[in-house]
Structure 1
Amino acid sequence: MPEPDHYFSAQPASPAQLRPVDVVLRGRPVRVQTASGVFSAGRLDLGTRVLLDAVEDPPPAGDLADVGCGWGPIALAMAQASPAATVWAVDSNARAVDLTARNAAALGLTGVRATAADAALEHLTTAGVRLAEIWSNPPVRIGKAALHELLRRWLGLLAPTGRAQLVVQRNLGADSLHRWLAEELGMDVARAASAKGFRVLTVRPGQ
């Protein structure tokens, strides 16, 4: 019997049956396509909604990133707010990357670059690109060690004046992650919001 799909599976085994979902992203109603085998396939998940409601608009231009894009709600919201920016929507799940690309194209959001996470990280690192902002509902269920490595690599791409906005469920380690970011990575971390059992952490490179 095949293993069940996880949202962080690289190649989900379940059939990719597209279905439309109507959601509201930062006050803007949109219709998107979702499918099984990706994170929160049938709706806008609560943590993502908390993040999108809590943060200010991203910078109007430059390179932005949504790390763990799923079907794309965060990347789409960033691109709507900053149409002149390049938004790197990255995920280890190939179906999620495809869905985000489809949704961005359908909404006319030409600044979205939906890319496999490892390929995007290699490209950005090799090209010397520095990110002005990261928004992420990070995949905490991949395990602490893998999550820390993911965040270490992506936060390392922040520009000196850049910042990351991360949403993490309080019961899934938000406060311990806050401490790790500050004590182990030397980042400047502040709790920007706390709602519905989630923390939104604003993370900046340490001085």
Structure 2
Amino acid sequence: MGEHYFSSRPDAASRTRTIDLVLPDLHLRLETDRGVFSPDRIDPGTRILLETVPPPPPTGNLLDLGCGYGPIALTQACRSPQASVYGVDVNERALELARWNASTAGLDTVRFVLADEIDPELRFDAIWSNPPIRIGKAALHDLLLAWLPRLTPGGRAHLVVQKHLGSDSLQRWLNDQGLPTERIASRSAYRVLAVTLPDQPHRPARTGNDTP
């Protein structure tokens, strides 16, 4: 089970296994373990994100926010081998797995780190994320407001969220924060949202009525 995948050190006893991420343009064999997000298969939301997002920028800095054992960040690295890719997570077991998966795939442009290991001045040309909705609304909002403003001008974030876990209300909330957000794909009760950082700062709305 993955109830505590957002813990820094999961209590679940280790039991590793190998799964495959197969997309039209790549095939990655990934090691997973108990205590991390979706250890038994590639999460359907992650797969939908990877099958629908536009190609990442060919160069620059790319971020996978909430990287788990690495399927999103490693896909970014495969699709943009000249870019610098960062995967961020709080789960140290997941980060260890992600580093192993990058090494075995020969992808040396990816760094899997804790958030405080990234230079706070670093900006990202693209952010892809299957965000950890189950950490709770307040924590999720704090997470997104900490990272989405670190997009470069013209950069975009793509988030995948289940409809019944609040994708539509999250879209409204992001727009209220001055982060223009549109739905670019919808499949199997998942929504893929694209977020653009505006050129001018915006004072967030504080209505409290339409948050996810």
Q: Same fold (TM over 0.5)?
A: yes
Q: Which amino acid aligns with 2:145?
A: R
Separation (CA, whole Å) in 1 of partners of 2:24 and 2:175: 29
Matched, 1:72 2:36: no
2:42 corresponds in structure 1 to 44
Q: Which position in structure 1 is the counterpart of 2:81?
A: 83
Task: State the shift of 1:15 in Å.
Answer: 2.4
Distance, in Å, in 2 between the alignment partners of 1:131 and 1:124 is: 11
Unaligned runs of 5+ in 2: 200-212
Q: 2:142 aligns with which of 138, 146, 149?
A: 149
Partner of 1:96: 94
- CA deviations over 1:88-126 (Å, ceiling 9, x no partner): 101010011111111011101111100013x24xx331x
The within-5 A match list for 1:162-177 is 162-177=155-170
Does residue 124 of structure 1 match 2:119? yes
Q: How does 1:174-185 map to 2 (within 5 A)?
A: 174-183=167-176, 185=177
Q: CA deviation at 1:27?
A: 3.7
Segments of structure 1 that go 5 or more residues without pairing to the other structure are none
Identity %: 50
Taking structure 1 as the reference length, the TM-score comes to 0.92
Q: What residue number does 2:180 align with?
A: 188
Separation in 2, partners of 1:84, 1:16: 34
Q: Specify the alignment match of 1:197 in structure 2.
A: 189
Q: What is the TM-score when the length of structure 2 is the normalising length?
A: 0.90
**How many residues get paired?**
198
Taking only aligned residues, the RMSD between alpha carbons, in angstroms, comes to: 1.3
Amino acid at match of 1:195: R
Instruction: Tell me which of 16, 22, 25 is aligned to 1:24.
Output: 22
Cα displacement (A) at 1:174: 0.3
The whole-number CA distance in structure 1 between the counterparts of 2:194 and 2:3 is 31
Mapped partners of 2:82, 2:148: distance in 1:
22
**What whole-Å deviation, never above 9, does each CA across 1:5-35 have from its counterpart, x for those lacking one?**
5110110112223211122145422211110
1:121-170 deviation line (CA, Å, top 9, x unaligned) = xx331xx2110000000000000000000000000111111110000000
